[in-house]
Structure 1
């Protein structure tokens, strides 16, 4: 009796060790990317595909030649399919027990198959590994599956498998009377009868949409075509997407061709608007306002002052000006003479200001009178508050500006601790302006409120774009952008049609009663820069007079690249590409992914920036040649996204540690690197966490010197932007940093 117990104990021990050896690899669940997406019905669904005789014959021939059973072959096909969907190193699939086994004597009715797969493997090598995987899984398959599930990190849910969404069933060899265990899983069932193979997929339509399930059959068919022609083909050579789907992804979803004035500069187009509507109000600040003609006159005078300073076409001029009419004047003056403007927020710490000016090679700075004292005396400046500047010849300069000149350089967060400058050309802004006109139907509207800081690229959509479309721009003062009372007054008194804001700012503004009331006056809300939350959508949709647009786009592709009119709070998408913009969702191996598959969002087209200023290495890494469209470049955003069936895109977060706080792009490593330069600080970990709908940054640090929180914050703000002042700091004991931050 004791001997029998020992044998059972040793067997259970070896079974446990086998499953632990697999689960200790930290495997992720093999999920179907479209689970819960775009559901339009409930009930049980089933789709069937009968393979052609020649296809079935080729499979049987391969199995006979390589001494394989058909189950091993079909299992390998599904392995490749799930790898192509996820590009995960380990793929899990569950299978039922065999028909020959006595169910009543077994602890399990299904068994997980877990296999490592690599893109460099050949399909033949996958088959050989699969045979071993299947043999071992059934050998150790009587270890309780609930205990196997418990080995999975973070497993808490008991209603579905933590390992996989897929069950593979062979009607020829597997038990069939246990299917109710798989209610939340997709069952891929195959049967061989009279040398003909039939594949069916059974699924819950409340979890999986039929169109996506049908695409699985198409992808299986494409894999079969590849491997039956060449069993030694490498996994990364197998293309699961067929010609019809490629056409949808490359052509139909990217049907964005749009005519625009590609040979004109921003200055030329602005002068066209001045000619069309000279007496219309162009810009308002406080109680001051300028017509298009008056603004143009001031711009021309300042532009001549710049020319007199021998500022040449193609150079960079700093804009270090308080929010004012002069800020707009300075920007347009630079653009008119073909020099790029470098926007510098007056709230930036002087260390960052000096870095941006020196790194960009800026030779001249347009500056407000009271900011002059902040700058080193070595910098060349023009005081835009000097009234004598505007007494010069105010006629148009008549310059022919190359629209491939850089229009502006905006510095964004960098993981090294130093920001990087993105170069956007005139042509890209001109295309963007036309695309916004079409996407938002700007001809219907007359005014927009400019609340955004000059150093944030969406400022362009609140100033240059509306001016090129003949609208009135109303500029708020510094600090007014989060005061609901003041914003409401400006909306009402200036008859504002459009406002643009990050969701986090909208959340703050909605706390004010008068701001809520002012929404009855508005017509369009543009929200972007960070995730648009359901509570904000629900709030805005209460106002039937307002159209809400969710906007998406990195600085590197000229402000916004996708737009979606939001009509429901059920699923919030980032929409479709704007004019002359193409999108691609690619895998970590740079393969085009099918509709619905989550991968990296890449953007191509007219809006793609020239690159990073003085950073050729990073430019080559992030801006690559577009493999799907000759002579175009493509920007890899680092954002995870998926195509929906209707050609709209849904965003799923980041590949890296970049986050968005109040619309600002922040590299967590940048903050860590800055904090590590503070004397005595030895270890730092910065994480982003959401609380009450607002994203906060938490910094956990180990320091040999005792600092107060205010001292650390002050040191940080000397090096970087004010948004980092919202950091929450925790001083912790040495060697506990990695464990500590994970628990917060």
Structure 2
């Protein structure tokens, strides 16, 4: 159906889903009954079959019922360690009639306390600790478990940065999962490599999409999932067919393939790579098919509030980027600021309708009322349609589907002309010498900064970037400053950290004074009495940090690589650079353990 055929509601529907749609827990247990010996989950040296998965989940459910504190809890927290036990515990909590909340083991104390308080968690379990009794039949749910109850709560920072708990029902997950199985049916039973942390919403796609299909879930270890060479090794070892990652890390994988053609054979089993979490640059699409021409690329879009995804576009060959068409069972509307349908071809706020729209935010009725709304059914009589207002802007094309234009809160004015940051970023990444880009607006000083990561070996000049943008978008919206950086910092939820980018533009003297004040506040008497680190190696490492981070660095005992903006992508580059300095490989795991310059001096000295 086209927008002109959609009627007064402006609804853009996806394909229908066949009914009935089974609950995910029912589908997993059915596979356990039919194929108990089939491998369900692998993580390092651990592996469980479907039979062991069901038996372990039954043991978890019995342990919950036998524990007075657990039995009184509506929700149970699960620390999201990367282990096969995470899947076992989640399924067991469902069998007990409760919902789970995956918790980030590395979350700051204040964030962790906010999440536990908001979710009302009195019980938190560690999936590395299995119940003592691992065998036995799966029990019936201990309490009524209707499809519209609650399956899990997943906390997302959204656009505000404050964690919000999204309550997802079994019905929401069942329809989201059924749409996934229907859309990707042609790619076969998945052997899925899970790179996302369990507390990210994208992990729900890999975890339940794989187990409900009867496939095998391969969980990358914490010291593997950020290292392209290790990821390619896992793909080869387990004959992985499917994976999902953010565009930034897929760029690193492609870079590794391009650096050494021998890695190409390791990716031979892949059938489908899914990109999600951020806008997919055209350059990534082109590089993907240049290096992996036989591997399909899917671009998924959708907020946590709509059970992971709402639209998708599958590429079998290079094509213009877009977020595609509504997934089966879902419909979209493009609305103006009064929540009325926009004319065909116009830009509007994306509203998602359908059974994937979640219940709302836990403990936040005001935000739930603001974002989850009832829209008119249209010209035909019928009840209002529940929709989620994404805050994203899109434009519909009957031929190419939905084009992501930007965020409502990312519209800025440059020299009197309104433009979306995402529009500038898309144009920047189209430059042949640009590998990645992000744009941040300093509202206090009315300055727009474009942060550019160059392609390896390329040295584009700022004038070249400006000229390219003038040709693409016009002179009026060219950013005020072009800043070259080695990498783009990421937030805890793996989004581009524009706040950190803006902070890096402060005058060096001001940044150094603030760092010195912070060091003095944190310095212990023993540290104050210790002489400063002296030696050429510390200075060399500081210069390496500067090159990788793109910011001035002092040889401090207090600053860590990550406190200065390091992230899961830049740590890969740091390990390479330290390896060149040491004359032998330096593992990423060692870099995580040795986060300060003095620690890295000691590490390299021992090497």
TM-score by length of 1: 0.55
- Residue equivalent to 2:393: 640
Looking at structure 2, the residues matched to 586 and 477 of structure 1 have their Cα atoms a distance apart, in angstroms, of 43
Residue 385 of structure 1, CA deviation: 3.7
> Are 2:457 and 1:691 equivalent residues in the alignment?
no
Alignment of 1:462 with 2:213, yes or no, is: no
Question: 1:336 is matched with which residue?
Answer: 95
CA shift, 1:439, in A, is: 0.9
2:36 to 267, 278, 284: 278
| Distance (Å, rounded) in 2 between the aligned partners of 1:515 and 1:249 | 50
Is the 2:322–2:400 contact (alpha carbons within 8 Å) kept by the matching residues of 1? no
Is the contact made by 2:323 and 2:403 (CA closer than 8 Å) also made in structure 1?
A: yes
What SS class does the counterpart of residue 231 from structure 2 fall into?
Answer: helix
Secondary structure of 2:58's partner? helix
Distance of aligned partners of 1:419 and 1:684 in 2 relative to their CA distance in 1, 3 Å threshold: farther
Q: Give the Cα separation in 2 of the matches to 1:411 and 1:709.
A: 34
Q: 1:342, 1:408 within 8 Å by CA — same for their partners in 2?
A: yes
Aligned in 2, Cα 1:570/1:548: closer, same or farther, shift over 3 Å?
A: closer
Matched residue of 2:280: which SS?
Answer: coil
The yes-or-no answer on 1:406 pairing with 2:150 is yes
CA contact (8 A) 1:271 1:296 kept: yes
Residues 430-509 of structure 1 mapped to structure 2, 5 A cutoff: 430-441=174-185, 444-509=188-253
Cα pair distance change 1:621/1:724, threshold 3 Å: farther
- In the TM superposition, residue 710 of structure 1 has moved relative to its aligned partner by 10
Tell me: CA distance 1:284–1:704, structure 2 relative to 1, closer, same or farther (3 Å).
closer
Deviation for aligned residue 1:605:
0.3
* Structure 1 residue 596 displacement after superposition: 1.6
Contact 2:104 2:199 in 1 (8 A): yes
8 Å CA contact 1:549–1:564 kept in 2: the answer is: yes
Structure 1 residues 687 and 478: alpha-carbon distance in aligned structure 2, compared to 1, 3 A threshold: farther
In the alignment, which residue of structure 1 is the partner of 2:298? 549
* Contact 2:236-2:268 at 8 Å conserved across structures: no
CA contact (8 A) 1:300 1:396 kept: yes
**Secondary structure of residue in 1 paired with 2:173:** helix
- Given that 1:319 and 1:365 are in contact with CA atoms closer than 8 Å, whether structure 2 keeps it comes out as yes
In angstroms, what is the RMSD of aligned CA positions? 3.4
Query: Is the CA contact 1:598–1:640 (under 8 Å) kept in the aligned structure 2?
Result: yes
- Highest CA radius of gyration, 1 or 2? 1
The alpha carbon displacement at 1:332 in A equals 1.4
* Residue equivalent to 2:120: 361
Match of 2:67 in 1: 309
Match of 1:323 among 82, 90, 102: 82
- Residue ranges of structure 1 left out of the alignment (5+ in a row): 1-214, 216-240, 368-383, 673-682, 716-721, 728-744
Distance across 1 between alignment mates of 2:62 and 2:135: 8
Counting only pairs closer than 5 Å after superposition, residues 655-666 of structure 1 correspond to structure 2 as: 655-657=408-410
Determine helix, strand or coil for the equivalent of 1:529.
Answer: coil
**In structure 2, which of residues 130, 133, 140 is the aligned counterpart of residue 391 of structure 1?**
133
1:447–1:472 CA contact under 8 A, matched in 2: yes
Given candidates 338, 341, 346, the residue that maps to 1:589 is 338
Measured against aligned partners, the alpha-carbon deviations of 1:129-162 in whole angstroms (never above 9, x if no partner) come to xxxxxxxxxxxxxxxxxxxxxxxxxxxxxxxxxx
SS at match of 1:656: helix
Contact 2:298 2:314 survives alignment (8 Å): yes
Question: 1:235-250 to 2 correspondence within 5 Å?
Answer: 245-247=5-7, 250=10
Shift of 1:560: 1.1
Aligned pairs (5 A) from 1:526-537: 526-537=274-285
1:299 Cα shift? 1.2
Flag the 1:336–1:292 CA change in 2: closer, same or farther, 3 A. same
Separation (CA, whole Å) in 2 of partners of 1:597 and 1:274? 49
- 1:538 corresponds, among 270, 282, 286, to 286
Query: Which runs of no fewer than 5 residues in structure 2 stay unpaired?
Result: 412-420, 426-437, 455-486, 490-497, 523-561, 568-607
2:376–2:384 Cα contact (<8 Å) kept: no
Q: Evaluate the alpha carbon distance shift between residue 275 and residue 617 of structure 1 in structure 2; reply closer, same or farther with a 3 A threshold.
A: same
1:450–1:459 CA contact under 8 A, matched in 2: yes
Which residue in 2 is equivalent to 1:618? 367
Whether 1:654 and 2:407 are equivalent positions in the alignment is: yes
